[in-house]
With several copies, the nearest count.
Chain A
């Protein structure tokens, strides 16, 4: 059976209906375990003090903010190439989740920045590119809402997502060029020498898993809502025409 089967809305509704409780449960468990572990059972860092505990929200949220956009990009491509409605609707469903994740990363980062750098906000490239990502999400969502016809909206937002991705990457380099920053580099990668210590590493992994699952659960839920909205619209239209 090909994977495209799941692009059939009926099939998708069945499968996602089965999956949803499990994913939700796992997400809840992972999040609760990870956050409690991180919040209660990790020591304060010798340099950053207790603020290091923010990492368990900040980093997973940042991760999902970027992955959310990537997911939208892939879904948009699938829609443009194979015209599976579910994929367009899932892109629509993902946008608000991604935007919230971006917002969480920004807010926790800002709160963290206050004690660490002595300022809520600095025009560091990482932060700036997140702000820009936030703007891209805003524009994408606004475009979805502005267009009446669902297929046209799907087409246009897909094109915007693709063009936007190119410009988002360009902006990232532009911003890097513009200002070399304060923010720590990505030290998550395994081969880095300055790997953060295991005390923080393990709960962080759990939290990241939790955020991924949370994203998937919300995505399934919202995609189901979008599919239903689409069907509702079609039914109402039919009723009117009859």
Chain B
């Protein structure tokens, strides 16, 4: 099982942002995406996660193997922590198991999601990844708002996932404390040569 991205170009708001991206992830491997603000990390993750179409290039991954965690956690404010997780578990036809314990959410389990603090919400959002049972995780700044203890906790969870043969592609600005290769995406920034006379280029 592996994720292989070749010659990918992806666009945001009608503009090509990244070009010629090639990357490869093998079972058990994690890759950190680095790049300044606006480099296109979010765009790349959304494209690989099949939320938008690539302009050119291919993304090879086994079917139904990708779980994507965005800036937003997709929590329902009026459902409790447990109900929120249970919903996603059922959608993916899996059991919740000890996920609540693993993300240190047991004491919060019966509180509605709206009464959580920013960091607690984030922990719940990350717990969702565990119930999908999917091997490839795409994480967009997963540790935003987390305190040091929770970052460490998430590091453990991530290492466990990798040890089980999972993969992770992580966009982040801060140190996660896990061993991983780093890919700086700045070199893939698209070259916007001034278009020639023709009109075709105007249409992407």
Contact = CB atoms under 8 A, between A and B. Distances in A.
Nearest to A151: B14
A5 interface: no
A124 B187 CA distance: 66
A113 interface: no
Contacts of A8: 199-200
Given A149-B14, A240-B111, A241-B15, A234 B204 contact: yes
Interface in A1-56: 8-10, 13
Contacts of A234: 14, 195, 201-204
Given A240-B107, A241-B192, A9 B199 contact: yes
A213 interface: no
B182 to A, nearest CB: 25
A241 B190 CA distance: 9
A238 interface: yes
Given A149-B14, A241-B190, A9 B202 contact: yes
A230 B203 contact: yes
Interface of A: 8-10, 13, 85, 148-151, 227, 230-231, 233-235, 237-238, 240-242
A67 to B, nearest CB: 27
Contacts of A150: 14
Nearest to A232: B202
A85 B203 contact: yes
B199 A148 contact: no
A207 B14 CA distance: 43
A8 B198 CA distance: 10
B70 to A, nearest CB: 19
B114 interface: yes
B177 interface: no
A238 B199 contact: no
Most buried by B among A227, A230, A231, A237: A237
A149 B201 CA distance: 17
A149 B200 CA distance: 18
A10 B13 CA distance: 23
B203 A9 contact: yes
A238 B193 CA distance: 8
24 contacts: A8-B199, A8-B200, A10-B198, A10-B199, A10-B200, A13-B199, A148-B114, A149-B14, A150-B14, A227-B199, A227-B202, A230-B202, A231-B199, A234-B195, A234-B201, A235-B195, A235-B202, A237-B13, A237-B14, A237-B15, A238-B192, A241-B17, A241-B192, A242-B192
Contacts of B13: 148-149, 237
B14 A233 contact: yes
Contact of B194 (A85, A231, A238): A238
B168 to A, nearest CB: 29
Given A8-B200, A238-B194, 6 more contacts: A227-B199, A231-B199, A234-B201, A234-B203, A237-B14, A240-B111
Given A149-B14, A241-B15, A231 B202 contact: yes
Nearest to A84: B203
Nearest to B115: A148
